[in-house]
Structures are given as C-alpha cells and as structure tokens.
Amino acid sequence: MIQLTDVYKTFTVKDKRTRAKKQVEAVKGLSLTVKPGEIYGLLGPNGAGKSTTLRMIAGLMQPNQGRIQVCGLDTVEQPEKARAKVGYLSTDLNVYGRFTPRELLRIFGEFQGLDAKVAERRGMYLMEKLQLDDFADVKMEGFSSGQKQKVSIARALLHDPKVVIFDEPTTGLDVLTAKTVLDLLRVMRAEGRTVIVSTHVMPMVEEICDRVGIIFDGLLYGDASPKQILDDWGVKTLDEVFFELAARSAAEV
Amino acid sequence: MRGALLICKKEFMELMKDRKTMFFTFLLPVLLYPAIFGMMSKLGRNDEEKRKSKASRVAVVDASQTLLPLLRTEPTLFEVVSAPEGDVKQAINDEKLEMQVEVDEDAAAKLEAQQTFSVKATYDRSNDSSRLALTRLKEQLQKQDKTWVQARLKTMGAPADLASPTKLESVDAGGESRVMGRIMGSMLPYLLMIMMFAGSMQHGIYATAGEKERGTLLSLLATSLPRNQIVLGKLLYVFSIGILSALINLASLGISMLLTFSKEAAVNAPSAGPGMGSLSALANPATLALTFFLMVPLGLCFANFIVLMGVQAKNAVEAGSSIMPGFFAVMMMAVFSMAPGIEKMAWLPYVPILNVSLAIRKLFVHQGNIPEYLLALVMTVGLAAVFTWLSTRMLKRESALFKV
Ligand SMILES: Nc1ncnc2c1ncn2[C@@H]1O[C@H](COP(=O)(O)OP(=O)(O)OP(=O)(O)O)[C@@H](O)[C@H]1O
Ligand SMILES: [Mg+2]
C-alpha cells in the first residue's frame, strides 16, 4: 500500500549566469493511493516530476510538505522501517562493477538483514527469472546496460519487498528483455505486491497498468484505468493526452 | 553499529577485488623502504669507505728530507708520488694527485737550530679526497710537532708534559638512544601524518564522491540501513586504511632501518654499534603504545575530513581538489613540526594536530610531559568527535546526496 497526501517538493537551484537562486517546484500537491495487487503507472514528459515522486516514496528524499506512507509507515518518521518494505529501481542507479551478480546480491542481502541462506535462494530464483544465471559469477565491469539493469532488478526485489518502485524499468532494454521485466511485474502483482512504475512507453502502460496517473508539471491529471482515461479525454492513445496537456499549458502562457 | 560494519566490510571487499590498488596500497611500501634504505646506505658507505681506504697521493718537495721519511712511514695514509710535470694546480684539478707538499729547503737546519720551518700544501678544497689529504697531513704534523717540542724541552731539561697542558676527554650524556630518538622523534610524526592522510585519501574519494559518480550510492541509500550508519561505515573504512597504511609504512621503515643500522654497526664497530641498542630503546612498547593512542583520534580527524569533502563533492575530481588543500595543510604542519627548536614555543601545545606531533616528538626523546600529552589527546579526540558528528549530519542532507 502506498499513500501520498498532498505532497510538495521544491528544489533550490542556482542560475550560473545570473547567480540568482530559483525555486523549482517539482511536485505540487500530489495525492494518490496504490493498493496491494495493483500496478500503477506514472506517466509524464521529461521533467514532469515522476522520478522525484518515486524517490520520495522510496525514502530517498523527503517531501517539503504533505505525508507519504508505505505499508502504513511514514517515510519521514520511520524511514528505515519504511525503506525495508520498498524495492527501488531507477535508471540513474548503477551496480558495483568490481563484484559479480552473486556477490552483489549476497552483500545486499546482508544490508537488508536477510538470512544468508534465504538471500542465496531468493537471489538464485531472481537470476533465473531474469535469465542471468550464465553471468552470475562474472565481474559486472563489462556488462551491457541491459545486463546491469537486470542485476539491479534482482537487487531491488531481493528482500521480498511489499512495495515495488520501478523508475523507467524498460529504458535501454530490447523487446525481449523488456518483456521479461513486464512478466516479472505481473508476477509481483499476482503475489499481491504494490507496484508503481514510471515510463514514457505508452504501449507498456496500456498492457500492464491497472491504473495510471499522468503527471504534468508537478500536477496529477487523471487517476484511473488506461481505458477510462482514454474515454474521459476522448482520445485514442495516451500520447494524445500529452499533446493536449502541452497545448493547454502553452495556451496558459 | 551493525550497518556501519557491513558497509565497511563491503568497502574492503571492493578494495580486495582490485589487485592493482591493493598492491600499490599495501605491498609497494613494504618493498620500497628496504630498497631505498639499502641503496642509500650502500651509496653513502661505499663512497666514504673508498676514500678512507685509499692512501692520498702526495707529491713532496723536501730537499732536506725532513718530512718525507715521516710520510713514508704511513703507507696507508700517504702514497708519495713524483711531482707532476707542468702546473701543479692543474694536476690536482685533474685528480692526478691529491696534494703537493713543499718543505723549506733548509728545514733540517732550522729544526736543528730550534727555529720554525714552513710547509706549503697545495690542495683542492672542493674535492673530498683532496681535503682528506690535507686533514691527514695536519694530523700527522700535529703529532710530529709534539714529538719535536718534547725533544726540545728535554734538551732544556724541562718535563715533557710542558708540551701538553690540557687533555680533552668527551662523554656523550645523551647516549646513542637519545640521538636516535631525536632524529626519529622529529621525523616520525611527520611520516605518520603524511602516510595516514595520503594512504587513505584516494580510497576515501573512491568510496564517497566516486560512489556518487558511479551511481552506486543510491542503491545503498535505498536499503533499510540508516543513513548515519552508512557514513560511519565509510568513515570506519577510510580510518582503517589510514591506520593500516601508517602501520605498514612504519613497520617497513622500522625493519629496513634495523637491518641497515645493524649492518652498519657490524661494519663500523662490531662491539657496540649505534644501531641495535638505540633502536630497541626506540621500539620501547610504552612509547609505541602512547604514540598509537595519539594517532588514532588524529586518523579519525583525517578520515572525517576526507569523507566530509568526498560527500560534498559531485565527483571524484572535485573531491580530490577539495581535499588537496587539507593535505597541504597537514604537510605544512608536519614539516613545521620537524623544525628544530619548535618544542620551546609556549603556545604550541594548544594548537590542534600540531600538538600531536609535538607530543610524539617528546615521547621519543624521553621528555614525555603528561599534561601536554593529555591535552593533545583530549583536543584530538574532541576534534574527531565534532568532525564525526558533522559528517553524519552532512550525509543526511539530501542536497549532499543528489547533487547533479
Ligand atoms: N536534485 C535536484 N536538484 C534540483 N532540481 C531537481 C533535482 N531533482 C529534480 N529536479 C528538478 O525537478 C523537476 C522534476 O524532475 P524529475 O527528475 O522528477 O522529472 P522526471 O519526470 O523524472 O523526468 P524524466 O522523464 O526526464 O526522468 C525537474 O525540473 C528537475 O530539474
Ligand atoms: Mg525521471
């Protein structure tokens, strides 16, 4: 279960030329709920605030305002306990090149406080699912980005998290690997986990997401099943919702 | 603390995967010191021994044969050669001989008449061998002068002791161990400080700014490990590397010194050389333990500084350039602490970090001062605590973690 109530996040950035400090409102009053056994898709153009939202849910950042709960645990008040429930994956996250996948998973098993045997078994299961077993004992330095991404996925799911947060999980993956990941997400849903993913890839959303929320400029538009959204906006594809929103914001300025 | 230990373990595992870095960090210093020391002592000894073992080639012009027979009686010191053709100075410059000695033609007569005769020595002051020839001549003449004076006194019926009113006898109150202690005491804090800082700097950057740059830090932060445990783990790692490299360097240095000095002692004076005894006095367990207790909080301060800067930086290069000034400061302080006479400055015991090297220095010359030692210890521990608190707080700030 993920629950966001009126969440705000502001960054202070400095303009190098004018030397003026500027407030960037990445998320402006976001509220949403994702239930167990559900895959929630967060859509939006670049810089919309998707990653920021997911980072806050994962406990990597704190909201300036509002409240985030993961499995009933407040991410600010009980950060460690909340993080223990979360499996987080993101594109700007990398693996330790000096280790092999097996070593990496063993180490992260320790970090997550797992029993060594349990971690080993779970790691093997995930590596098999992700078709990584051939590379389990190869140093990750020379891995392709897809191979690294697979290891990262295994790392994120190792501790059997109740909440799965994937920020653009299929970026840089070929169609076959992307399908493997999507299948894995379906398994997660079937196991009753709470899943939230962000993406630009619309077909993927229509295929696996039970509900979608469209973030545009820090605000959430629509919070319904993909089909419902298409009906509500009177369009044929989700891409068209983007074009509509972009046109609107251009008209406002 | 479990989290910090796990992080530290992970850092060490990562380090161990990199054979090359391991070699340069831990093995190279072990091999380096014996090599350097062996070479240095061999070079030094060889040169001096060679000169000392060779007789000086001297051309002697002595018509009355007053000095020549005397020089001939010392074949290990002088080799009498024929006078060079052409310019004498040129011949000395060309190292054909070391010195030319010209004795008054009527020297024998003057000696008989109890008068002074003159001896003119031509040598090259810029040449070690030539200078040695002059020194040998002076010593020889001094001895001979005394014999002659005593002979003259005898003919006058006066006692021979008239020729030597004083007899100098020198005793070294410090003893070899103090001399060695002074040298080591001023060098050691310097070496320890530099080694501790330099040894852990790169590893600290790798584990902080480097992790940020490589995108692995996020995966650590996403685990259920508390943030301060992650920083403490990194701190522990950098600190351990610092202490380890200081110890390794020190041990290697100690062993090489022991080997070289004991060899030298055997060559110079087989009975009681300057090496073994003084070194064992230096390796006094109490002195070493007290030194170690001071180095621990100092190492923690260094590690904190490195981690703090590393966490602040966007990437490894930025971290490196922000740590460099700190390294220079430590180097300056270390050099300053080697300067002679600084232990007399009254304010020195109150300057953090500097007082550590002062205290270590005093320990090694057996002038250990308990209040000063404790002051240095307390100040450094305090500083380390403040630093640790600061860096754990710093890593909690997300601006430090998500700099883009
Ligand atoms: N650490 C940060 N410091 C300053 N500004 C930031 C930071 N992180 C995000 N922002 C800003 O917040 C806004 C939202 O960024 P975010 O990364 O959440 O977008 P996104 O929806 O994930 O975009 P993309 O699809 O490109 O990944 C952007 O304007 C970005 O510049
Ligand atoms: Mg993003």
pLDDT number for residue A58: 95
| Class of CATH domain B55-150 | alpha beta
In whole angstroms, give the CA distance from residue B229 to residue B5.
Answer: 8
| DSSP state letter for B84 | P
Compute φ and ψ for B294, nearest 5 degrees: -80, -35
Give the residue from B12, B219, B228 with the most A CB atoms within 10 Å of its CB, the best one to mutate: B219
Which amino acid makes up residue B188? Answer: L
Which residue from B144, B145, B142, B134 is spatially nearest to B78, judged by alpha carbons?
B134
Which ipTM value was assigned to this complex? 0.92
Measured between beta carbons, the chain A residues lying within 8 angstroms of B401 are 60
Residues 23-82 of chain A whose Cβ lies under 8 A from any Cβ of chain B: 58-62, 79-81
Cβ pair B17:A94 closer than 8 A? no
pLDDT number for residue B267: 57
Beta bridge partners of A74: A69
Cβ A165 vs Cβ A58: under 8 Å: yes
Atom 12, ligand 1: which residue's CA is nearest? A26
Please give the distance of CA A168 from its chain centroid, rounded to a whole number: 6
Q: How many CA atoms lie within 13 A of B226 on its CB side?
A: 12
Give the nearest partner residue to A99 out of B17, B225, B226, using CB atoms.
B17
CA distance to partner chain A, nearest, from residue B338 (Å): 41
pLDDT number for residue B176: 59
Cβ pair B216:A93 closer than 8 A? yes
Measured between beta carbons, the chain A residues lying within 8 angstroms of B402 are 60-61
Q: What is the pTM of this model?
A: 0.80
Atom of ligand 1 nearest to the CA of A27: 14
User: What domains appear along chain A, each with residue ranges and CATH number?
Assistant: 2-85+161-252 (3.40.50.300), 91-160 (no CATH)
CA distance to partner chain B, nearest, from residue A96 (Å): 6
Strands A163-167 and A21-34, by their bridges, are unpaired
**What order do you get walking across the sheet with A65-70 strand by strand?**
A21-34, A2-14, A65-70, A73-74
Residue of chain A nearest B10, judged by CA positions: A107
In whole angstroms, give the CA distance from residue B52 to residue B160.
Answer: 33
Going from N- to C-terminal start, the domains of chain B cover 2-30+176-401, 55-150
Atom of ligand 1 nearest to the CA of A55: 18
Cβ A181 vs Cβ A170: under 8 Å: yes
Which residue from A168, A17, A159, A28 is spatially nearest to A83, judged by alpha carbons?
A159
Measured between beta carbons, the chain A residues lying within 8 angstroms of B16 are none
Q: Please give the helix or strand (H or E) that residue A219 lies within, else none.
A: strand A219-224
Q: Count other Cβ atoms within 10 Å, centred on residue B270.
A: 8
Reading the block at residue B237, the tokens are 């790692």
Which amino acid makes up residue B245? Answer: S
> Ligand 1: which residues within 6 Å by Cβ?
A 11, 13, 24, 26, 44, 46-52; B 402, 404
In whole angstroms, give the CA distance from residue B404 to residue B318.
Answer: 13
Q: How far is the CA of A49 from the centre of ligand 2 (A)?
A: 7
Digitized pLDDT (tens) for each residue of chain B, 404 residues in all = 889 999 999 999 999 998 888 888 888 878 877 787 777 667 766 777 777 788 899 999 998 898 898 889 988 899 999 888 888 899 999 888 999 999 999 999 988 888 899 999 999 999 888 999 999 999 999 988 888 888 888 888 888 787 777 888 877 666 655 666 666 667 777 778 888 898 899 999 999 999 999 999 999 999 999 988 998 999 999 999 999 988 888 788 777 777 766 666 555 544 444 444 555 555 567 777 888 888 889 999 999 999 989 988 888 999 999 999 999 988 888 787 777 777 677 887 888 888 888 888 788 777 777 888 999 999 999 999 998 888 788 767 776 666 54
Q: Count other Cβ atoms within 10 Å, centred on residue A242.
A: 19
Q: Give strand ranges (E) for chain A.
A: 2-14, 21-34, 38-43, 65-70, 73-74, 86-89, 163-167, 194-199, 211-216, 219-224
In whole angstroms, give the CA distance from residue B386 to residue B14.
Answer: 29
Digitized pLDDT (tens) for each residue of chain A, 253 residues in all = 999 999 999 998 888 888 889 999 999 999 999 999 999 999 988 899 999 999 999 999 999 999 999 999 999 999 999 999 999 999 888 999 999 999 999 999 999 999 999 999 999 999 999 999 899 999 999 999 899 999 999 999 999 999 999 999 988 888 888 999 999 999 999 999 999 999 888 888 888 999 999 998 889 988 899 889 889 888 888 888 888 888 888 887 6
CA distances from B26 to A98, B204, B245 (A): 19, 16, 7
Which residue from A155, A147, A134, A209 is spatially nearest to A176, judged by alpha carbons?
A147
CA distance to partner chain B, nearest, from residue A99 (Å): 7
Cβ B192 vs Cβ B246: under 8 Å: yes
Atom of ligand 1 nearest to the CA of A218: 14
Helix, strand, coil shares, percent, chain A, to 5: 40, 25, 30
Q: How far is the CA of A53 from the centre of ligand 1 (A)?
A: 9
CA distance to partner chain B, nearest, from residue A230 (Å): 35
CA distances from B46 to B43, B51, B75, B95 (A): 5, 9, 21, 19
Give the nearest partner residue to A112 out of B17, B224, B401, using CB atoms.
B224
Q: Which residue in the block uniquely carries the two structure tokens 């009126």?
A: A6
